[in-house]
Amino acid sequence: MSPETISSINWSIMTPEFIILGVTALLVVFDLFMPNSLNRKILGWVGIAAIFAALVSVALMAGGPVRSILDNTFRLDSFAIAFKMLLLLGAALVMFLAVSYEAKEGLEKYRGEFYYLFLIALSGAMLMTSSGDLITLYIGLELLSVSSYVLAGIQKDNLKSNESAMKYVINGSISTAIILFGMSYVYGLTGTTNTLDIAQKLSTLSDGNQVYLLSLAFLMILVGLAFKLSAAPFHMWAPDVYQGAPTPVTAFLSVVSKTGGFVIVIRILLTVFGAAATNGPNSMPIILHMQNYIAVIAGATMIIGNVVALRQTDIKRMFAYSSIAHAGYLLVAVTSLSANMFYSIWFYLLAYLFMNLGAFAVIQLVTEKAGSTKIADFAGLYRRSPVLAVSMGILLISLAGFPGTAGFIGKLNIFIGTFYGTTPHYVLASVMIATTVVSYFYYFGVMAQMFFRPAAEDSKFNIPFGILIVLIVAVIGSVLFGLVPNIAFNYMHNNLDIIGDFFK
């Protein structure tokens, strides 16, 4: 590429990514040259500022036409903007958690890494939302994954953390390899890695053998992605990793990483397999035939996540299974494969971001103080800190999907989707609602601890500034989007034409 072509590229559409990457580089340098005695928290605040700058730049780009650069490998469409907003919002809250994190096990040494690895992972996820090519998609995914592996094991002296990081690396790399294998089939059949070109080539597909290969590719990619989403039966790594990792990292994995996972699901499955015809041009796309596989995974994920969560005594493990369960609900939305899907997934992830990060803020504070992660440590929280207990109560109610909260509207939206269309998924809908009732048990179990049981000790809580911010945003977000969800829906409808843009 000559310098002229490089300068003629409209780099401005990558502004948010550049802001994050630039600041990451700055943080690395600062961290290197800062004297050891200086507190690294300042790096975290710089990171937060960068995320907000990126968020503003993304918001400013909303509503424009679809733009793409670098031979269509990087595209800025409404889908990318909408999901970048989610990622940035989630990452900002995670950073607030991170700056308030007071770990006991020698994390202080690696404080700097802690912040900029978050940012690197974030930029990977952001890249995924904009990828118009299998290669960029893959690079984004790896950027996200590799930094997550390191983050999970950042407490080097903690055995549990080491073990969980090891599990995460091994499982994660296998899943990436499987995804890559699936992608290679797609490349082999079409001779291109650009998703839109692939879609175009596949829409005229009529050879039965090729359809067979493509179906195999679909299943492989689905299996690989199921690992990333912690969907059953490939969810085993999640509880260990969630338990072993520092709480802000767990929060990051459960929200930002999961959003990234769904971005890749929608990008690959819809563009590539939504276009591949099964019986010549204009016939049913492969993905409609594969709907049932996704439905089975969704059902199994919801059942396993919710049922196993019942037996947990460790709050972080319980939230790991809860997070698995929520991945199941989101997969139900994927199964509907309708225009509603984009909005319901986006809205659910938005709701999930608030309720889960808020809950992790409380978990972080309570487990730090208690020095353990038992659910029993929440006993009597209402006495010790009514603010924490009531906030946690509201967030748990939202997680359980009760009306008046964003969690309810999110579930309702997904639920509506299962009943529409030519083949309504009645069984899946019933599984979803039955498992939701099962989830009342463990969410209200925490409530019972907080409100009904006496406290083991009476010491009060000091709520650090960062945690307070997360809690306020989370509670307001959960309630606001539960009472007037149209704020979010209207913004999407008016500024972002996801469906129109997606296939352009």
Residues that bind another protein (CB under 8 A): 336, 338-340, 342-344, 397, 402-404, 408-409, 412-413, 415-421, 424, 429-430, 433-434, 436-437, 440-441, 444, 447-448, 451-452, 484-486, 489-490, 492-493, 499-500
Question: Regarding beta strands 67-69 and 74-76, do their DSSP bridges make them parallel or antiparallel, or are they unpaired?
Answer: antiparallel
Backbone φ, ψ for residue 131 (5° rounding): -75, 135
Q: Which is nearer to another protein, 100 or 439 (CB)?
A: 439
- Residue whose CB is less far from another protein, 234 or 443: 443
**Nearest Cα residue to 416 out of 339, 340, 502:** 340
Q: Please, what is the minimum distance in Å from the beta carbon of residue 466 to another protein?
A: 25
Q: Is the dihedral of CA 79, 96, 45, 164 positive or negative?
A: negative
What is the spatial distance between Cα 491 and Cα 138, in angstroms, rounded to a whole number? 30
Nearer to another protein, 175 or 336 (CB): 336
Cβ of residue 400: shortest distance to another protein, in angstroms?
9
Long-range Cβ contacts of 459-463 (<8 Å, 24+ apart): 459/369, 459/384, 460/384, 460/385, 461/365, 461/366, 461/369, 461/384, 461/385, 461/388, 463/365, 463/385, 463/387, 463/388
CA atoms of 227 and 236, how far apart (whole Å): 9
Q: Smallest gap, in angstroms, from Cβ of residue 372 to another protein? A: 23
The residue (of 160 and 493) whose beta carbon lies closer to another protein is: 493
Residue 181 or 503 having the CB closest to another protein: 503
Nearest C-alpha neighbor of 352 from the set 283, 305, 420, 401 = 401
Least CB distance from residue 348 to another protein, whole Å? 12
Spatial distance between the Cα atoms of 347 and 484, rounded to a whole number of angstroms: 13
**Phi/psi of residue 75, nearest 5 degrees:** -125, 145
Cβ neighbours around 6 below 10 Å, total: 9
Among residues 38 and 434, whose Cβ is nearest to another protein?
434
Radius of gyration of the chain (CA): 22
Least Cβ distance, residue 225 to another protein (angstroms): 24
The distance of closest approach from Cβ of residue 405 to another protein in the complex, given in angstroms and rounded to an integer, is: 10
Please report how close the Cβ of residue 502 comes to another protein at its closest, in angstroms.
10
Q: Is 170 or 339 the residue whose CB approaches another protein more closely?
A: 339
Rounded Cα distance, 145 and 139, in Å: 10
> Closest distance between another protein and the C-beta of residue 31, in Å?
44
Least distance CB 227 / another protein (angstroms):
30
CA distances 395 to 101, 128, 219, 308, 475, Å, are 20, 29, 36, 21, 7
Given a contact cutoff of 8 angstroms between Cβ atoms, the answer to whether 496 and 62 are in contact is yes
SS3 state at 134: helix
**Which residue, 38 or 416, is less far from another protein as judged by CB?**
416
Nearer to another protein, 216 or 448 (CB): 448
In angstroms, give the least distance from the CB of 122 to another protein. Answer: 28
Is the CB of 152 or the CB of 295 nearer to another protein?
295
Q: How far is the CB of 422 from another protein (least distance, A)?
A: 10
Distance between CA 442 and CA 444 in Å, rounded? 5
Q: 360 burial class (0-12, 13-18, 19+ CB within 10 angstroms)?
A: buried
Residue (29 or 427) nearer to another protein, CB: 427
459 CB burial (10 A radius; 0-12, 13-18, 19+): exposed
Task: State which residue, 97 or 447, has the beta carbon closest to another protein.
Answer: 447
Nearest distance, CB of residue 379 and another protein, angstroms? 13
Both tokens assigned to 10: 């409209």
Nearest Cα to 110, choosing from 239, 249, 17, 240?
A: 249
CA 100 to CA 466: how far, in whole Å?
A: 6
Name the token pair of 377. 């440590």
